[in-house]
């Protein structure tokens, strides 16, 4: 039968049809892969829109470095990918400087998205048809087959679009699949709703509080620290800023009013450790008019450390030592990176693992020819190996201030959250207080006194300062004083004062 003219004609025709269809589809796919994408600004972001061949369809929204959302939005042979590639500096700056900028961006985001989708559809359709035509020209070199290939490509594009429209599920956005760091997104969204309700009230309060801090200078400027005030090294200890934009305003006020020589930050400058956080938020460090010494916390990635290190007034310590204003400081960063859930199963996440990690800093300090006056760690659980190695250890992490004399006379000073636990602090009934301390060292590196400053935390404009003079300073033991009575607040100055008794710290769960 195959030898009959009709059979041969049928086989030849079917072969030509399959060849045309195959070349057209393959060329369309190549065209889609090469040119099936566009870039569109959506809010403050540059977003890449891309269509690619797929068996199950769906939509993927990639948000580097946090992860991705996968939406079961449609079926069909094409997958939509939207990648938020980078922040537009000009649009981002306008959003930050304009109080109505966020609202305006929200109103135009949908319009930006629709424009991007329209451009993508036109670009992808054109790329698919053009790819089919070009491949048909290379394979067939015959106008009729090229025309048929173009028609097949047009029909394929139309069928793909029809399949997407007919199977489109708008409710898919309510039930996304989270990947990467965005597995925490459901909790974050819930937190954000609570934060939004209180943020306006909170920012108004903080504006009043930061102005009030300047009154502290007149309150404490006459309090004695040492016999010669000019020989005192003033160190401002901050920690756990957690992206609170008010934190740097407070730091700058204290640096200016108290003539701070060094600012020491014991980590958790950010929440997620993303490069964008480093570019937008860590920039506040360069405006601090004092040397800024930083160690990374468990929320600070390598990208954050790199962002901090680029500022001329900043020093990043990660198992290293620096001497500034006559004070020698050693520090080591937290080995964990909490936003990456995989680190929770590592040995370094345990308390024993943290102490073992700190042994590296102990070895470094023991190698120094000159004595080290202060050591920095993020988690107080890391401090035990430093007991007896340095007089003072500064830490943070717990969002609750405490001062403890360790067994071998080292003073462990844990700072509260200078950022009030970040915007997450607004979830609580009252905002978490902003906490920071001023440490007064003599020229020989001995801690003589410290001031604990607490801003807010009661829903009113309240700033408190509590002065502690050390009768038995660490590193300069006195036989007449015992560790239990080594700290005593000095008598308050005469006259009116804005300070009131410091409220107790507000604790938050571990793994901050």
The verdict on residue 93 lying in a domain is yes
265 and 145 share a domain?
Answer: no
Q: What is the mean pLDDT of residues 366-374?
A: 96
Structural domain containing residue 294: 188-489
The verdict on residue 12 lying in a domain is no
- Beta-sheet pairing, 411-414 with 434-441: unpaired
The verdict on residue 498 lying in a domain is no
Give the count of domains, the chain: 2
Contact 461, 431 (CB under 8 A): no
Q: Residue 15: pLDDT band by 50, 70, 90 thresholds?
A: confident
In whole angstroms, give the CA distance from residue 332 to residue 326.
Answer: 20
CATH number at residue 472: 3.60.21.10
In whole angstroms, give the CA distance from residue 391 to residue 217.
Answer: 28
290 and 367 share a domain?
Answer: yes
96 and 244 share a domain?
Answer: no
The verdict on residue 510 lying in a domain is no
Q: What is the mean pLDDT of residues 333-352?
A: 68
Least Cα distance to 248 among 92, 87, 434, 415 occurs for 434
pLDDT score at 448: 93
List pLDDT tens digits, range 28-54: 889 888 888 888 877 667 788 899 888
231 and 296 share a domain?
Answer: yes
The verdict on residue 267 lying in a domain is yes
239 and 124 share a domain?
Answer: no
Query: Does the structure show a pLDDT above 80 at 25?
Result: yes
- Domain boundary, last residue among 128, 147, 175: 175
The verdict on residue 501 lying in a domain is no
Contact 235, 254 (CB under 8 A): no
The mean-pLDDT minimum among 6-15, 73-82, 400-409, 468-477 falls in: 6-15
412 and 457 share a domain?
Answer: yes
Q: Is 141 left (phi over 0), alpha (psi -120 to 50) or beta?
A: left
195 and 170 share a domain?
Answer: no
97 and 214 share a domain?
Answer: no
In whole angstroms, give the CA distance from residue 271 to residue 240.
Answer: 9
249 and 302 share a domain?
Answer: yes
Higher pLDDT: 276 or 373? It is 373
In angstroms, the Cα distances linking 174 to 52, 66, 105 are 24, 19, 22
155 and 234 share a domain?
Answer: no
pLDDT score at 140: 86
- Reading across the β-sheet that carries 411-414, which strands appear in turn? 320-324, 327-331, 374-376, 392-395, 411-414, 402-405
Long-range CB contacts (< 8 A, 24+ apart) of 105-113? 105/43, 105/44, 106/43, 108/43, 109/42, 109/43, 112/40, 112/41, 112/42, 112/43, 113/40, 113/42
57 and 168 share a domain?
Answer: yes
In angstroms, the Cα distances linking 119 to 37, 80, 116, 368 are 9, 13, 5, 62
If you average pLDDT over each of 88-97, 255-264, 473-482, 503-512, which comes out highest?
A: 255-264
In whole angstroms, give the CA distance from residue 31 to residue 366.
Answer: 64
The residues facing 316 across adjacent strands are 294
List pLDDT tens digits, range 463-496: 788 889 898 899 775 444 444 343 433 333 333 3
DSSP alpha helix (H) spans, 72-184: 89-97, 101-139, 143-166
If you average pLDDT over each of 95-109, 178-192, 299-313, which comes out highest?
A: 299-313
């Amino acid at each position: 039968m195959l030898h009959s003219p009709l059979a041969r004609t049928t086989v030849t025709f079917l072969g030509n049809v399959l060849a045309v269809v195959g070349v057209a589809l393959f060329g369309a796919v190549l065209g889609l892969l090469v040119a099936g994408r566009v870039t569109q600004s959506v809010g403050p972001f540059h977003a890449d829109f891309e269509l690619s061949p797929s068996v199950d369809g769906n939509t993927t929204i990639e948000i580097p470095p946090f992860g991705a959302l996968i939406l079961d939005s449609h079926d069909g042979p094409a997958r939509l990918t939207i990648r938020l590639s980078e922040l537009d500096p000009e649009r981002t700056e306008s959003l930050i400087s304009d109080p109505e900028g966020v609202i305006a961006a929200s109103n135009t985001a949908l319009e930006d998205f629709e424009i991007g989708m329209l451009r993508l559809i036109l670009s992808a359709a054109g790329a698919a048809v053009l790819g089919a035509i070009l491949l048909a020209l290379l394979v067939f070199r015959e106008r009729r087959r090229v025309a048929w290939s173009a028609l097949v490509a047009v029909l394929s594009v139309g069928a793909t679009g029809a399949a997407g429209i007919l199977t489109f599920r708008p409710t898919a956005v309510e039930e996304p699949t989270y990947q990467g760091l965005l597995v925490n997104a459901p909790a974050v969204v819930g937190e954000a709703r609570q934060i939004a309700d209180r943020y306006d009230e909170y920012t108004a309060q903080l504006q009043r509080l930061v102005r009030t801090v300047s009154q502290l200078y007149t309150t404490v400027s006459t309090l004695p620290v040492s016999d010669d005030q000019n020989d005192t090294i003033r160190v401002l200890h901050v920690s756990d800023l957690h992206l609170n934009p008010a934190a740097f305003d407070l730091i700058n006020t204290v640096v200016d009013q108290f003539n701070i020589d060094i600012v020491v930050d014991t980590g958790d400058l950010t929440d997620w450790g993303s490069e964008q956080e480093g570019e937008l938020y860590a920039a506040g460090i360069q405006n601090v008019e004092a040397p800024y010494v930083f160690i990374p916390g468990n929320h600070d990635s390598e990208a954050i450390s790199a962002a901090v290190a680029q500022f001329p007034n900043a020093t990043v310590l990660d198992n290293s030592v620096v001497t500034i204003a006559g004070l020698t400081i050693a520090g080591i960063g937290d080995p964990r990176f909490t936003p990456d859930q995989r680190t929770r199963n590592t040995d370094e996440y345990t308390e024993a693992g943290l102490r073992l990690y700190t042994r590296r800093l102990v070895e470094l300090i023991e190698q120094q020819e000159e004595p080290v006056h202060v050591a920095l760690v993020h988690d107080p659980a890391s401090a035990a190996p430093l007991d007896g190695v340095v007089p003072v250890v500064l830490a943070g992490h717990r969002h609750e201030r405490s001062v403890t004399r360790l067994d071998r006379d080292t003073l462990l000073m844990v700072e509260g959250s200078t950022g009030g636990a970040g915007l997450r602090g607004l979830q609580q009934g009252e905002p978490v207080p902003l906490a920071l301390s001023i440490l007064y060292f003599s020229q020989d590196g001995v801690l003589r006194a410290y001031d604990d400053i607490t801003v807010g935390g009661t829903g009113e404009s309240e700033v408190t300062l509590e002065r502690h003079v050390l009768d038995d300073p660490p590193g300069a033991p006195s036989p007449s004083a015992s560790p239990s009575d080594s700290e005593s607040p000095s008598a308050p100055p005469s006259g009116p004062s804005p300070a009131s008794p410091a409220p107790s710290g507000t604790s938050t769960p571990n793994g901050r």
